[in-house]
Amino acid sequence: MSQVTIYLQDDVEAQARKAAEAQGISLGRWIAGEVAERVRNTWPPKVLAAIGAFPDFPEAEELRLGYGDDTNREPMD
């Protein structure tokens, strides 16, 4: 496992400490978890490179033709 030094503004550090404390973990563990989550949820470079590679791919509206009207949704309040 490697170590990294980061510099945070005082207000950002305070917010991060609060978040870590609320989860009952150390600041270092909280930051490591946040970084891991951010990295884990990224698309692989090959997928990102393929975006827009199919110029004749239909738009969403064209794909939905013939499906009819969508149903009314319940409010999420």
Domain map of the chain by residue range? Answer: 10-63
pLDDT tens, residue by residue, 1-55: 889 999 999 999 999 999 999 999 999 999 999 999 888 878 888 888 888 888 8
Cβ–Cβ < 8 Å for 16, 27: yes
Token pair of 36, please? Answer: 């891991």
Most confident segment among 2-6, 23-27, 60-64, 68-72: 23-27
- Name which of 37, 41, 33, 32 is nearest 3 in CA terms: 32
